[in-house]
Amino acid sequence: MPELAEVEYYRKQWDPGLGKIVTQVLMHADKRIFRGTDVEALVKNLTRAKLLSSQARAKQMLFRFNRGWLGIHLGMTGKLSVQPGSQEPGKHDHLVLVQNGQKLVFNDMRQFGRVKFHAGSEPPAFWTEIPPAVTSPEFTLEYFQNILKRHARLPIKGTLLLQTGFPGVGNWMADEILWRAKIAPRVSSGKIRKPSELWKQARFVCSEALRIVAKDFSDPPAGWLFHERWKRKGFCPIHKTPLRRETVAGRTTAWCPKCQR
DNA sequence: CGAGATGTTCGGCT
DNA sequence: AAGCCGAACATCTC
């Protein structure tokens, strides 16, 4: 379920490995997860390397070692965990960093995720080029309105999912933002009546998700659309109108036809 | 058995 | 030419 808050949660799962040496790298090197990655360099550099620190940004994570940088994207079904040293890797445990007494495991059933490796002391371009976070000071109302203008003909649901504009926002967060801003998902991005409200709700949902979900994988509070939008028959938390559920901009979308116009 | 799942990417079209 | 759309990717579950 990885959107920005879940990604931050998973990043922390490898914290027990900080400051420790990787004694062995186990991997399914031929898997799609490693497409475009120099797996030989990854194994060579990470074997006997020490994990120094980690960060999460948007839907990506970056792990700093004393001999390079490991970038991980979780795709649809990626997870990070720490397993006992005695645990044998499972079918979908595509990357396993063995340390003394424990294993740092990346598991991804569907393999829409991605593992990257970058040697050198400077952080890789794929990391530094991630655009400003929705919650950051750079994400001003003016900046936001420029994104809307650039994608004026794309349904607003699709625009909120653009990682070049809203890094880390995924399907459930986009629906939550639109529900709170009372905007129907098919409205063209160039025809938003009150951009300041949408901007405000985007920032609210991102910061609350980070505060609540990233902490310990708690669900958002009662009253959020989140709890209804998975259900085949969900209802608007405000007045119990049945939610509509259709594909918009290529993604399943749930919204309240009464609140959202 | 077919459809769908919280994500990207690519090729084709306007 | 930038931007939009739909298909594809791999696997499991309902």
What the block records as the tokens of A46 is 């990470």
CA A191 → C1' B5, Å? 30
pLDDT, tens only, A14-44: 999 999 999 999 999 999 999 999 999 999 9
Nucleotide in closest CA–C1' contact with A109: C11
* Token output for A115: 């593992």
Q: What are phi and psi of A114, to 5 degrees?
A: -155, 140
Q: Look at residue A216 in the predicted model and tell me its pLDDT.
A: 86
Nucleotide with smallest C1' distance to residue A158 CA: C4
Average pLDDT over residues A138-164: 98
State the residue for tokens 């009546």: A193
Stated in angstroms, how far is A158 CA from C1 C1'? 21
- In this predicted structure, the answer to whether residue A53 has a pLDDT above a threshold of 90 is yes
Does at least one atom of strand C sit less than 7 Å from the CB of A153?
Answer: yes
Strand C nucleotides within a 7 Å radius of protein CB atoms: 2-7, 9-12
Per-residue pLDDT, A43: 98
Among all protein residues, pick the one whose CA is nearest to the C1' atom of C4: A154
- The whole-number Å distance from A212's CA to B10's C1' is 36
pLDDT over 80 at A1, yes or no: no
CA gap A51, A24 in Å, rounded: 13
| Tokens 């490796």 belong to residue | A117
Q: What is the pLDDT of residues A93-123, one digit of tens each?
A: 999 999 999 999 999 999 999 999 999 999 9
Tokens of A89: 């890797």
Q: Give the residues across from A188 on adjacent strands.
A: A155
pLDDT at A2: 80
pLDDT for position A259: 96
Report, as an integer, the average pLDDT of A62-88: 97
Scored b (16 or more CB within 10 A) or e, A27-57 reads: bbeeeebbeebebeebebbbeebbbeebebb
Q: Which residue gives the smallest C-alpha to C1' distance to B6?
A: A1
Q: What is the mean pLDDT of residues A72-87?
A: 97
Q: Which residues, by CB, come closer than 7 Å to strand B?
A: A 1-3, 6, 58-59, 73, 75-76, 110, 112, 114, 161, 163, 170-172, 230, 250-252
* Percentage of the residues of chain A whose pLDDT score is greater than 70: 100
Look at the block and give the residue holding tokens 């400003």: A132
User: pLDDT tens-digit profile of A226-255?
Assistant: 999 988 889 999 999 999 999 999 999 999
Question: How far apart are alpha carbons A39 and A35 in whole angstroms?
Answer: 9
Report, in angstroms and rounded to the nearest whole number, the Rg of chain A calculated over CA atoms: 20
Residue A213 has pLDDT above 90, yes or no: no
Cα–Cα separations (whole angstroms), residue A95 to A2, A39, A167, A182:
18, 11, 25, 42
Sheet holding A24-27, edge to edge: A24-27, A93-99, A102-108, A78-84
State the average pLDDT for chain A: 96
- Report how far residue A62's alpha carbon sits from residue A48's, in angstroms, rounded to the nearest whole number: 18
pLDDT at A214 over 90: no
- Look-up of token digits 């309105």: A145
Q: Rounded mean pLDDT of A180-196? A: 98
**Straight-line distance from CA A187 to C1' C5, in Å?**
17
Instruction: Return the pLDDT at A135.
Output: 98
Closest residue (CA) to C1' of nucleotide C10 is A110
Which of A107, A259, A106, A123 has the alpha carbon at shortest distance from A185?
Answer: A259
Give the pLDDT of residue A123: 97
In whole angstroms, B12 C1' to A74 CA is: 29
> CA–C1' distance A64–C9 (Å)?
29
Q: Which two tokens stand for residue A184?
A: 């129907």
Mean predicted confidence (pLDDT) in A124-141: 97
User: Three-state SS for A11?
Assistant: helix
- pLDDT of A218 reads 87
Residue appearing with tokens 């808050």: A5
